[in-house]
Amino acid sequence: MLSALLFMHTRLAEAEHTITGARERLSELVTPDGPLDAPGATTTLVWTRRLADAVTTREVLAPSLTQVLGSLRPAPPASSPPPASPAPSPPLPAMPAPLAR
């Protein structure tokens, strides 16, 4: 589930970034005082399509991500404490050094 959440978050962040960039680029391309020639119209169409795709991605992912995150709840507290782990065994006595001959 974590992988799916991270994937959706990454896609949502990419869509938001594309929306911001496409809006900025379209505002540069379409000016009230400037004529729109054929290459400019094609470029405007490309950026408009990118904007539409990014908005669609955001509109699909945002509710899904919100629903998944909303369904996550903390685990209920345990009714009984977990069993204690066994006590560690005492350390072994040090081995005496071998006698020198």
The pLDDT score that the predictor gives to residue 70 is: 83
Is residue 93 pLDDT above 70, yes or no?
Answer: no
Structure confidence by residue, pLDDT tens digits, 4-59: 888 888 999 999 999 999 999 999 888 877 777 888 889 999 999 999 999 999 99
The pLDDT score that the predictor gives to residue 74 is: 76
Q: How far is CA 11 from CA 38, 52, 97, 100, in A?
A: 33, 15, 66, 73
The pLDDT score that the predictor gives to residue 83 is: 65
| CA pair distance 1, 51, nearest whole angstrom | 29
Q: What is the CA radius of gyration of the chain?
A: 31
Q: What is the pTM of this model?
A: 0.64
DSSP state of 1: -
